[in-house]
Amino acid sequence: MSGKPQYDEAAVIDAAVKVFWRHGYAATSINELTEETGLSRSSLYQRFRDKDGLFQAAMATYTDRVLRRMNAAEGRTGRERLVALLRGFVPADSASQRPPGCLLARSCAERIDLSPAGREATLSGVDRQREILAKLVRDAVANGELPTHTDAAALAWHFLGVLHAVLNLPQAGATANEVNRMIDVAMSAWPNLDSPARRTRSRRGSD
Amino acid sequence: MSGKPQYDEAAVIDAAVKVFWRHGYAATSINELTEETGLSRSSLYQRFRDKDGLFQAAMATYTDRVLRRMNAAEGRTGRERLVALLRGFVPADSASQRPPGCLLARSCAERIDLSPAGREATLSGVDRQREILAKLVRDAVANGELPTHTDAAALAWHFLGVLHAVLNLPQAGATANEVNRMIDVAMSAWPNLDSPARRTRSRRGSD
DNA sequence: TGTATAATGGAATGATCGTTCCAAGTTGTC
DNA sequence: GACAACTTGGAACGATCATTCCATTATACA
């Protein structure tokens, strides 16, 4: 069985994303990559140069997909868009297909052991995540939805932390319901100018 | 050079903590462990059975130390204690000795590749972290410092997320100043019953 | 039909992995 | 001085690591 089936590069990278996402860079072996991508070792090195090259391709794809999902959040107000954004990353309780956690956050943690290029891709990825949140906040300030003295940078960092918490805390035992309630709590950092009083309130969910 | 210097076990585990903390379990090699601990391979296997045994010992020590630091936070009110707790984990900007991030959060991320015992140690560690935060919240509710309808569990998850953000976001480029301002923002989830209005306000720091 | 192209399986590289084993050396106690 | 307890260095184990090479095979286009 050899030949020229012209493999589907997007599918290959997709599979690689899943492997790196699940195990991180260091704990991912070429063997597992060839098995999951279906690509032979030969073609893998031919196309991606080495493990790090495939990692960078996977990281680029993952980052684009995450950023697209963040940007796709809809809502009338900035607050509604932000809530939609966060809720969009709450993992479905029922045996999700997606690996747990976040490849960007994970690569951040192991960035010491990454190549300079991998490190750079990671850093720029989280930067772009944060920039999306910062822009959302800045727009809300411009709209009068948030007070002018709002510390937009601090809010962006905060919600970046919340986003990563949404992705990571399920691995620490949090249920989807608890994550959703946590989002409600975390949203109290976004002052609701219309009805200022309520804060630690809402409840939702299935367990 | 052989002999019987009766090695300092606490120092050995301390060194192992640092290595696992920096590289995670998978990316840590026995070679680096022997070099950093100063212990010979022979003694290492004699005393800790295998790499996983040493990891569990390191994890226990790390967890104890982190929980002790959390419990050591002082303050008049629950809110003050919580702020002190969080600020206590903001890394000093100037070339810190401590490895970045959090071994518990990191092990949570790679828990799929850990032994059952290692996984168990990790899970129980974050559970105890969360329990400290939950108790702090519950006490504040009992004191009347927080409203009775407070969702204590959700608040505990939230502040666990904030704690991990404090430890991890510096790896994503956050300065100590930004982390401190983020803490201020995150604390708006803790309603200040005496002066209810202010929220996205305070500013502090050095950059 | 032929030839360049693309992808393959499989063997082989040297390095490093975790782990085991053992002979040798040092210390404390009798 | 002898013996037990402890720790060591160093060699060796098979497994796996990332990577390279090559002969083979199927496709596409001429």
Residue B68 neighbours by CB distance under 10 Å? 9
- B127-150 residue pLDDT tens: 999 999 999 999 999 999 999 999
A120/C4 CA-to-C1' distance in Å: 39
Mutate to test the interface with B, among A55, A169, A193, A195 (most CBs of B within 10 A): A169
**B200, A150: Cβ pair inside 8 Å?**
yes
- B61-82 residue pLDDT tens: 999 999 999 999 999 999 999 9
Query: Which range has the worst mean pLDDT, B68-72, B81-85, B92-96?
Result: B92-96
Q: Is A29 on the interface with B (CB under 8 A)?
A: no
Q: Give Cβ neighbours of residue A165 (< 8 Å, ≥ 6 apart).
A: A182, A186, B157, B158, B160, B161, B162, B164, B165
Q: What per-residue confidence (pLDDT) applies to A92?
A: 86
Range ranked top by mean pLDDT from A93-97, A191-195, B102-106: B102-106
Residue B50 neighbours by CB distance under 10 Å? 11
Q: Kindly report the three-state secondary structure assignment for every residue of B82-134.
A: HHHHHHCCCCCCCCCCCCCCCHHHHHHHCHHHCCHHHHHHHHHHHHHHHHHHH
The domains located in chain B, with CATH, are 9-189 (1.10.357.10)
**B169, A184: Cβ pair inside 8 Å?**
no
Structure tokens at B134: 């939950």
Whole-prediction pTM value? 0.92
Task: Name the residue among B127, B161, B172 with its Cβ closest to that of A126.
Answer: B172
B69/C4 CA-to-C1' distance in Å: 68
Does pLDDT of B20 surpass 60? yes
A56 touches strand D (CB under 7 A): no
Q: Which amino acid is at B191?
A: P
Q: Is A95 on the interface with B (CB under 8 A)?
A: no
**B161, A160: Cβ pair inside 8 Å?**
no
Pairs across A and B, CB distance < 8 A: 181
- A128-182 residue pLDDT tens: 999 999 999 999 999 999 999 999 999 999 999 999 999 999 999 999 999 999 9
Task: Name the residue among B110, B154, B171 with its Cβ closest to that of A24.
Answer: B110
Q: Which nucleotides of D are covered by protein (CB under 7 A)?
A: 5-11, 16-28
Range ranked top by mean pLDDT from A54-63, A184-193, B89-98: A54-63
Task: Name the residue among B100, B108, B155 with its Cβ closest to that of A200.
Answer: B155
